[in-house]
Amino acid sequence: PEQYLGVHVRNGDFCHAHTVTVDPKECHPATAFADALLKAAKATGITDVYIATDNADTIPVMRGLCPELVFFFNKEVDRDWLIVSDQDLESGEIFLEQRLFKADLNKRQNHLQEIMVDIMLLARSEAMVGQFTSNISRLVVALGTFLRSGELLPFVSLDHPWCWNGFRPTDFGVKFGKNFWC
């Protein structure tokens, strides 16, 4: 489609991060993303949505929550590989980056290409829903704004405002009782 909304839903390593780090990441339910998308669709009149997610189960759930929207996604993404397994949880290797270090070069290159496709398609959307605790969502808004010659890509962040602080503590995390690193 020529015009579409974008949504980036993290349901993999992101949802387990709080078990191994003090970084206060929150895994929002699909209903939170659906509510934001439905509001964006109503405001823009756009019903096509590009969904980028690390969890294949998220796609049919979002379709069920938003039957009036038409979802499309990159079918080339190996989402089964992205699932955090019981073995990953037991070994403490929750983060995708840890698993990528152990993967062969082809797996790493394929994953990088999949991420770049998602980032480019999300950046070209008319509005984006995501979480600014995710580097991908922040990159999408930055690139989308650049592609619009400086006009801000409309976005909804379900957790924190835009932030770039050189990966130092900010007071954005006050609701968690600690500093948020961004």
Local structure of 118: helix, strand or coil: helix
pLDDT tens-digit map of 143-158: 999 999 999 999 998 8
Q: Read off the pLDDT band of 25 (50, 70, 90).
A: low
Two tokens, residue 55: 């969890």
Q: Read off the pLDDT band of 4 (50, 70, 90).
A: very high
The answer for 166, left when phi > 0, alpha when psi is -120 to 50, beta otherwise, is: left
> Cα angle vertex 32, ends 65, 24, to 5°?
145
pLDDT tens-digit map of 39-75: 999 999 999 999 999 888 899 999 999 999 999 999 8
Q: What is the pTM of this model?
A: 0.82
DSSP 8-state secondary structure symbol assigned to residue 48: E
Contact in structure between 126 and 46 (CB atoms under 8 Å) = yes
Percentage of the chain lying above the pLDDT 70 cut: 74
Confidence (pLDDT) at 94: 66
Highest mean pLDDT, choosing among 12-16, 27-31, 126-130, 159-163: 126-130
